[in-house]
Structure 1
Amino acid sequence: MPSTARSYAEDLRTRSDDELRVLLQRRPDLARPAPSDLTALAARASTRASVQRALGGLEADQLHALEAVLVSGDENDPARLLGCTTAEIDPLLQDLWAAGLLWRSPEGLRTARAVGELLTRPAKLGPPTADLPAATRAVDADAAYNHLSSGARKAIDQLRWTHPSAAFTGATGRTVLTELTDAGLMVRTDLETGTIPREVGLALRGGQLYPDALRPPPPEGKVLTSADVDAAAGAEALELLWRLEELATAWETDPPRVLRSGGLSVRDHRIATARLEASPELSAFIIELAYAAGLLSEDGQLEPCWLPTSEYDNWAASTPIERWARLVDAWWETIRAPFLVGTGGEHPPSRTGSAPTINVLGPGAAWPLIRHRRQDVLRTVATLPEGTVAETHSVDVLLRWHRPLRLPPGVPTRADVVLREAGWLGLTGRGALSSAGRAVVDGHDVSAAMSAHFPEPVDHVLIQADLTAIAPGPLEDSLRRVMHVAADVESRGGATVFRFTKASVRRALDTGMTSDELLRTLQGASSTPLPQPLTYLISDLARRHGQARVGTASSYVRSDDETALTAMLADRDLSPLQLRRIAPSVLVSPASPGTVLDLLREHQHSPIAETSDGGVVITGRTPPRAHSRHARAHPVQVTVLDEPAARAMVSELRQAETARAQQPPKAGPRIPATDPTVTLGMLQDATAEQVPVWIGYVDASGSVRRTLFTPHRVEGGRAVGVTDDDRTQTFSIHRITGVAPA
């Protein structure tokens, strides 16, 4: 560290160029906008807002070291307060000094002024005796503790490490409080409240701030091999792609409506859950992820529906690894929080019914903090030894160690939610961080990290005589899409079992595929000859498929098979269509063609639609699409200051400092214009250090003047102190044009 300085600002001015560069890179908010000189930099670095941002990034050992300096004063050594050696704490103190949270005074290390304003209860100790409303006498804490009654001793034991203040209600509580105040261990702040003074609290702890201050919690969890982790992650990633495509296929044929309040209805969410054969949480995650990636959107119609976007077609045409990488990018950046679905939108969620239930895709399913929480959780998991299964409790403890001020006790970490979603996405495998997950954390290419671990697709199935087909692994895309249209999934696992049914074969024929095309595709994919029952099933359904055609008359049904039309007329289930024969081969109906098609298909009559000129309408070839949404807005991020920019800024600050030093000494330094925040911070620093500063101010006549001013008190937008002519004056902060060190 440098030699001692008489003020925080002087400490910054004595730093080398490299040390200033490190400060700017550690705290990039100091560089936006660029400070005019080193004095302005020091003023900005000591403001509450900047210091609070720097404190939020400290880990627990750094925070404990900073608290030790704050508590130590002139009587205690920080190392002794933490129960460690000087060699253990010195690197932490050096790091805190490099971040501008400490400065080197002649009396020893001191914290920046705003640190004490923000950490009002360092190490959960009370205020110093001098700051309490009632004076206390010096006591031997150990002796006083030993003479307490059992009730008073129990109260002190509960407060010793947790909180310096407590309310003592009821007659018994007030008796205990009186005993503790009489013993000198507490100060009564009102009738039923007492506070343990800092000096007494420290003595009760044996002179230590924490029982174990600098040692992070040990990692817990079993360790798996990297191969097992990555294989499981690849399988999960591929399964996610399949489920998302299944969702898009379902919604392009039967799009759910958008609620008036926005989002998806509970009924439609339940239907999607059943279609995906997933849990409600997983289906909500898939829907929200597709929306975040721009693959789903409202169609913008008078009665809007949720549909795949035009971007979905480009996504579906890309390779599986490219599709997966886009989903990962969307998840890493989105502020959508699927875990809130079904709750009242509280954090943590509550089911008390105090707020409306949040729907999938609704406006309430967004939570800006989830993005940073998601990244904090994965970065914490990345600190575990490779292959370690991330247990939720262990991650919670580590998170609170890495972000003690952001995640104090009682605040949910959401580690369980993030780990669950990371598992679905393939960033973890069997609970441990995968190679792809580590690439996401490190900012590397996730596609390259995952490509070697995607299961190798197979291009064949084993079709059996009982109308089932077994896929021995993940199918390649084109075959998988044919199988999902022409057959129903009967079971999943290491091998997927499909079953051909009349309904599934009709579904394939409805898409425009002919029986020859379907048979040829299945024959080419089957490792054995097609069984005769399947061939007969497809041929028989194809022979009858499309014999009846639907048009407009309002609508008509025509067929060369007069017997089939007679059967339709006799079918009571078709009575809502009010069918009427106008020719041996033609029926008409007042219902719309779409209604006629749906009802005839529902009752196994297998019609197809035709145009007014007799052409066949092939459904399923051009599915409806919503317009692509505008470019996704990413959450606000603090601009990172790279090394060249930091060096250039330090050079400019040095030049400004040199120019200021060359001002004639008799006239005083040049007083640059400073904004009110910098002015207030510099005056507060000068008050704390009892040093004079040059100020420029506007007098009553509107003239700009200057004076050497020693502030004694800064409060309520005013500064009170002594000017260079030994007069006590009060200046309004808004009338001070600038401040410069004396």
Structure 2
Amino acid sequence: MPRSARSFADDLRARSDEQLRVLLAARPDLMRPAAADLTGLAARAGTRGSVQRALDHLSADRLRVLEAVLVGGADNAAQLLAAPKRQVQTICRALWDQALLWRSPEGYRAVRAAAEILSAPARLGPTGRELGVPDRSAGAVTSYEQLSAAGRSAIDRLRWQHPRASFEGASASGVLDELVAAGLVVRTEDGGILPREVGLALRGGRLYQDGLSAPTPPTQRLVARDVDADAARAALDILWHVESLVRLWDQAPPRVLRSGGLSVRDHRAAAAALDVDSGLAAFVIELAYGAGLVANDGDFEPSWLPTSTYDDWVDRDPADRWAALAAAWWTSGRAAFLAGTSSEQGTINVLSGDVSWPMMRARRHDVLQILAEVEPDIAVSVEYVDAMLHWRRPLRLPLGAPTRVAEVLREAAWIGVTGRGVLAAPGRALVGGDGLAAAMSGSLPAPVDHLLLQADLTAVAPGPLADELAHLMQDAAEVESRGGATVYRFTDASIRRALDAGRSASDLLERLTVASPTPVPQPLEYLVLDVARRHGQTRVGTAGCYLRNDDVATLDAMTSDRNLSALQLRKIAPTVVISPAHPTTVLEMLRQHGYSPVAEGQDGHVVHVGHDRPRATAARSGAPPEVPAVTDQALEQLVAHLRRGEAATAARTASSVPGPRIPSTDPTVTLAMLHDAAADRAPVWIGFSDVDGELHRALFRPDRVDGGRVTGVVDDGNQIRTFSIHRISGVVPA
């Protein structure tokens, strides 16, 4: 057990090296920047900001024990919580390890800043002494039983939910008068307040109805194979959606809104192209952006374009591609589910700054950590995860605050981190931070290298295709349906797309022949050859530009086509037509209206346009800040540094001249020591400078510290003086 000390600083100075390492590991904000000595560390550990960060990370059981110590002291904490004394003592020791409690001669005491932050512990009001009224808890229960139904209803809300309430309206004012007359409520300017002693008596002497009991985990088990298989199917689907989106934007990049983000029209167009709802489409778009696969090209009229990162990513194997997406989702601070909702500025657009939500990264980590701590193969409900989040972060997530658990779990299912509501093997690797690609590789089904070609111009892939074959089908066919097997359909447009990409008809038929266990159906062979016969007859050059075709009828049809009037086509020879438009524009418009042109170079050879497409600069979105890890070596070095600083301070004090020596102290240390002295009504020696800059010393009894000033009594004449904190050079206990 920790030894008692006369102050929080003495308590911290008395800790062993191992206890200091435990404290610094639990509160890493105390490590940066490093304090000069243990006195400086104690001052920083007692500041409001540092204590607030520590309280924000307390689970409900630790927070409730701390509140019980504030309300009734450590000896009465077990009774106030109706919990075993041994359990409360264990938690008190854990709070001492975090320097939120310190061991005084009277027992554990909370640090001063914790009492300031938790001004209404367990939703109890101020004490009767603070309100200036006598303790009326003895007859509180009897007075409650004698109230009217309206009065009892008001007290029921006040005693558990919040001690303060406003009573507006004639009927409510009557209820307030009744409660004040019964001695249960103290009237205030804005309503009434329930004194702490009365509220505690009406609660039966308990701070909480459920004590220290955490939510009960579920027990329904699922088959692990089914879980991992479901997650693998989701992973393949999300890979398909991301690749389809980037290919779509590679061919037709959408514009960047002037205010940033993607327009609602382009969002809906992407959802239609992917054949998904707008919510999943927003998730896919944000995921591609977070992984650095698409970005704003920063042009004069900016567009959303694929990046060079995508070109590298698409060539990797499926497990590695999925791992990159999952890592980007894990570290992203963006909430795709906010897209399409309303804000003060209007509708929130995908890829806009309004989609950023700083708490999203921590919320994902907390939700998946809860799933990881449940026994393997146990399905959990949204309600359980929600309750556990409130239990783990009671200050950040008070009862009734939205947690967005449903949205996080839906995203986890979409990306393949969970399967059937259970954290799959790849999800556990993601939480653990190691072996992510290997875990997914073990869950993915083996790729197939064959297709079932059918006479109705369709092909069935009985599983995920090997990369080379998958790229071939992406170029040469359209996806008709997806599931356990994928059905592709060959069309004029899809075959023309493959030829535009540089594939020849013979190469396409040869690859399909190799991939099919049966001969290529005759209708498919005729389709490929017919499209290839018409493909490339029309040639587009760079002379302003020109079009040439040995088929005079085709050129006549182009020049008379009203849909191509914008190209201003003009025939200069039976087989040659010219246009003032750019060759790329001519190519795109001809293809849009059913023709099959190809680009021609100056030497007359075919140029396959599209291989050197523009790329945006890759930019990772929402990357977490780089924070140095708290390692054992770093802890050892800091503790050694603090010990050396403490020894140096002691040596300077021992060699000083007779009388009090007041070394210079950090302003944070000065403020903390003056706060402690004011709370304990203890004298201190202070060094201070006057208006002329001369240094003086005085024995000072601080009474109040606020607004950057300290007021108290100077013993040289019992006069009350006020000092500015910045004029005080140092403080030592008297």
Whether TM-score is above 0.5 comes out as yes
> Residue 433 of structure 1: CA displacement?
0.9
> Residue 654 of structure 1: CA displacement?
2.6
- Distance in 2, matches of 1:14 and 1:304, equals 62
Name the structure 2 match of 1:319: 317
Q: Which amino acid aligns with 1:643?
A: D
Q: CA RMSD in A?
A: 2.2
Unpaired segments of 5 or more residues in structure 2?
none
Within a 5 Å distance, the mapping from 1:147-158 to structure 2 comes to: 147-158=146-157
170-179 vs 96-105, which moves further = 170-179
- Distance in 2, matches of 1:632 and 1:588, equals 46
TM-score by length of 2: 0.95
Name the structure 1 match of 2:110: 111
2:686 counterpart of 1:687: no
Q: Which amino acid aligns with 2:471?
A: R
Name the structure 2 match of 1:736: 728
Cα contact 1:710–1:722 (8 A) shared by 2:
yes
User: After superposition, what is the alpha-carbon deviation per residue over 1:17-59, rounded to whole angstroms, capped at 9, x for unaligned?
Assistant: 2111211111111222211222221111111011101100100
Q: In structure 2, do the counterparts of structure 1 residues 544 and 645 end up closer, same or farther at CA, with 3 Å as the change threshold?
A: closer
76-85 vs 468-477, which moves further = 76-85
Name the structure 2 match of 1:707: 698
User: After superposition, what is the alpha-carbon deviation per residue over 1:492-547, rounded to whole angstroms, capped at 9, x for unaligned?
Assistant: 11000011111211111121211000000111111211111111111122122111
Q: Which amino acid aligns with 1:518?
A: L
Name the structure 1 match of 2:142: 143
Name the structure 1 match of 2:289: 291
Within a 5 Å distance, the mapping from 1:243-262 to structure 2 comes to: 243-262=241-260
Q: Which amino acid aligns with 1:100?
A: A
SS at match of 1:739: strand
Name the structure 2 match of 1:11: 11
- Distance in 2, matches of 1:478 and 1:266, equals 35
- Distance in 1, matches of 2:239 and 2:379, equals 24
Q: Which amino acid aligns with 2:610?
A: G
SS at match of 1:77: helix
- Distance in 2, matches of 1:439 and 1:230, equals 12
Within a 5 Å distance, the mapping from 1:274-673 to structure 2 comes to: 274-345=272-343, 354-569=344-559, 571=561, 573-629=563-619, 634-636=623-625, 639-662=628-651, 663-664=653-654, 667=658, 670-673=661-664
- Distance in 2, matches of 1:618 and 1:392, equals 52
Name the structure 1 match of 2:709: 718
Name the structure 2 match of 1:161: 160
Within a 5 Å distance, the mapping from 1:109-258 to structure 2 comes to: 109-135=108-134, 137=136, 139-190=138-189, 193-220=191-218, 222-258=220-256
Q: Which amino acid aligns with 2:525?
A: T
- Distance in 2, matches of 1:367 and 1:284, equals 15
- Distance in 2, matches of 1:93 and 1:249, equals 58
> Residue 103 of structure 1: CA displacement?
1.0
SS at match of 1:587: strand
Cα contact 2:331–2:622 (8 A) shared by 1:
no
- Distance in 2, matches of 1:637 and 1:142, equals 56
- Distance in 2, matches of 1:174 and 1:608, equals 85
- Distance in 2, matches of 1:467 and 1:452, equals 34
> Residue 139 of structure 1: CA displacement?
3.8
Q: Which amino acid aligns with 1:215?
A: S
> Residue 671 of structure 1: CA displacement?
3.3
- Distance in 2, matches of 1:544 and 1:517, equals 17
SS at match of 1:452: helix
Q: In structure 2, do the counterparts of structure 1 residues 673 and 567 end up closer, same or farther at CA, with 3 Å as the change threshold?
A: same
Cα contact 1:29–1:638 (8 A) shared by 2:
no
> Residue 142 of structure 1: CA displacement?
1.5
Identity %: 55
> Residue 655 of structure 1: CA displacement?
3.1
- Distance in 2, matches of 1:582 and 1:130, equals 103
Name the structure 2 match of 1:350: none
Cα contact 1:133–1:189 (8 A) shared by 2:
no
> Residue 724 of structure 1: CA displacement?
5.0
SS at match of 2:151: helix
14-23 vs 90-99, which moves further = 14-23
> Residue 700 of structure 1: CA displacement?
4.3
595-604 vs 50-59, which moves further = 595-604
- Distance in 2, matches of 1:355 and 1:602, equals 38
Name the structure 2 match of 1:349: none
> Residue 417 of structure 1: CA displacement?
1.7
> Residue 740 of structure 1: CA displacement?
2.5
Name the structure 2 match of 1:69: 69
SS at match of 1:317: coil
Cα contact 2:397–2:403 (8 A) shared by 1:
yes
> Residue 91 of structure 1: CA displacement?
0.9
SS at match of 1:307: strand
- Distance in 2, matches of 1:564 and 1:410, equals 70
Cα contact 1:502–1:537 (8 A) shared by 2:
yes
Q: Which amino acid aligns with 1:46?
A: G
- Distance in 2, matches of 1:684 and 1:640, equals 33
Q: In structure 2, do the counterparts of structure 1 residues 440 and 694 end up closer, same or farther at CA, with 3 Å as the change threshold?
A: farther
User: After superposition, what is the alpha-carbon deviation per residue over 1:385-431, rounded to whole angstroms, capped at 9, x for unaligned?
Assistant: 22222322221111010011111123221212211111121111122
Q: Which amino acid aligns with 1:6?
A: R
Name the structure 1 match of 2:39: 39
Q: Which amino acid aligns with 2:129?
A: A
> Residue 624 of structure 1: CA displacement?
2.3
86-95 vs 281-290, which moves further = 281-290
Q: In structure 2, do the counterparts of structure 1 residues 120 and 586 end up closer, same or farther at CA, with 3 Å as the change threshold?
A: same
Cα contact 1:344–1:356 (8 A) shared by 2:
yes
> Residue 591 of structure 1: CA displacement?
4.3
Q: Which amino acid aligns with 2:13?
A: R
- Distance in 1, matches of 2:650 and 2:521, equals 95
Q: In structure 2, do the counterparts of structure 1 residues 496 and 13 end up closer, same or farther at CA, with 3 Å as the change threshold?
A: same
> Residue 479 of structure 1: CA displacement?
0.6
Cα contact 1:139–1:184 (8 A) shared by 2:
no
SS at match of 2:378: coil
Q: In structure 2, do the counterparts of structure 1 residues 561 and 365 end up closer, same or farther at CA, with 3 Å as the change threshold?
A: same
- Distance in 1, matches of 2:339 and 2:297, equals 22
Q: In structure 2, do the counterparts of structure 1 residues 707 and 578 end up closer, same or farther at CA, with 3 Å as the change threshold?
A: closer
- Distance in 2, matches of 1:656 and 1:587, equals 87
Unpaired segments of 5 or more residues in structure 1?
346-353
- Distance in 1, matches of 2:217 and 2:258, equals 48
SS at match of 1:417: helix
Cα contact 1:39–1:741 (8 A) shared by 2:
no
- Distance in 2, matches of 1:101 and 1:64, equals 13
SS at match of 1:160: helix
SS at match of 1:234: helix
- Distance in 1, matches of 2:420 and 2:7, equals 54
Cα contact 2:59–2:391 (8 A) shared by 1:
yes
> Residue 106 of structure 1: CA displacement?
1.7
Name the structure 2 match of 1:348: none
Q: In structure 2, do the counterparts of structure 1 residues 703 and 487 end up closer, same or farther at CA, with 3 Å as the change threshold?
A: same
Q: Which amino acid aligns with 1:419?
A: L
2:15 counterpart of 1:24: no
Q: Which amino acid aligns with 2:301?
A: E
Cα contact 2:39–2:669 (8 A) shared by 1:
no
> Residue 592 of structure 1: CA displacement?
4.1
SS at match of 2:12: helix
